[in-house]
Structure 1
């Protein structure tokens, strides 16, 4: 992956104690182009959190920080983005969504984005 690889964080929070917030900052420090969707408009270290999902192209990875019951409203959106992979962070695992992604040949990973970044496996 190049340093300008686009990563979309769904469930982004301006609260620095939230894992999604830590992930956004760590992704930025690793040189990724970070996009974020949350439940309120905010900014974290220059990264904007949008409420309305932006239609983007060339999203490589979507990393989820919302529980399964909140994911359904994003199914069509994420599928339309055609990312290379979707990461289900701990507590976000969703077999229904994972199956839909796999049917579209989108890689599914159940892992922690923070651990992946720290271990060099992102």
Structure 2
């Protein structure tokens, strides 16, 4: 039996990295293991779990994004905020180290749920 992807929560993993010591890599692994559909995007080149990392600098037009999970710090978020909000996700998860009150306000005013939590814990405890 082939498992179907969990389409209802297509996740954009921002700050994706092919480096196994990075939390974004661990998140990609957990999403893949739990059969969530995810798109890795960042400035690092490479692949994670069979998916090529999309270059964030190209600001690709993506459809059907339910969740954005951030693995980039606030000092690197500024130029991407408007782009990520324009993707119209249902929620943005600000992982530890990604906290950004300005981004929270912009997202909330656009009707996006803001979650300050650890994506790894959410996945581990079935709260994703």
- Please state which band the TM-score falls in when normalised by the shorter chain: over 0.9
1:32 matched to which residue of 2? 36
User: 1:37·1:53 contact (CA, 8 Å) conserved in 2?
Assistant: no
2:6 matched to which residue of 1? 3
Question: How many residues are treated as equivalent by the alignment?
Answer: 121
In structure 2, what is the Cα distance between the partners aligned to 1:73 and 1:81? 14
Q: Alignment RMSD, CA only?
A: 1.1
In structure 1, what is the Cα distance between the partners aligned to 2:20 and 2:99? 23
2:21 matched to which residue of 1? 17
- Deviation per CA, 1:26-63: give whole Å up to 9, x if none: 11111111101121221112021111332111100000
2:80 matched to which residue of 1? 74
Question: Unpaired runs of 5+ in structure 1?
Answer: none
Query: What SS does structure 2 have at the residue aligned with 1:40?
Result: coil
- Please give the TM-score of this superposition, normalised by the length of structure 1: 0.94
Query: What SS does structure 1 have at the residue aligned with 2:86?
Result: helix
Query: What SS does structure 2 have at the residue aligned with 1:72?
Result: coil
- Please give the TM-score of this superposition, normalised by the length of structure 2: 0.90
In structure 1, what is the Cα distance between the partners aligned to 2:127 and 2:102? 25
- Deviation per CA, 1:63-119: give whole Å up to 9, x if none: 000010100111111111000000000011000000000001100000000000000
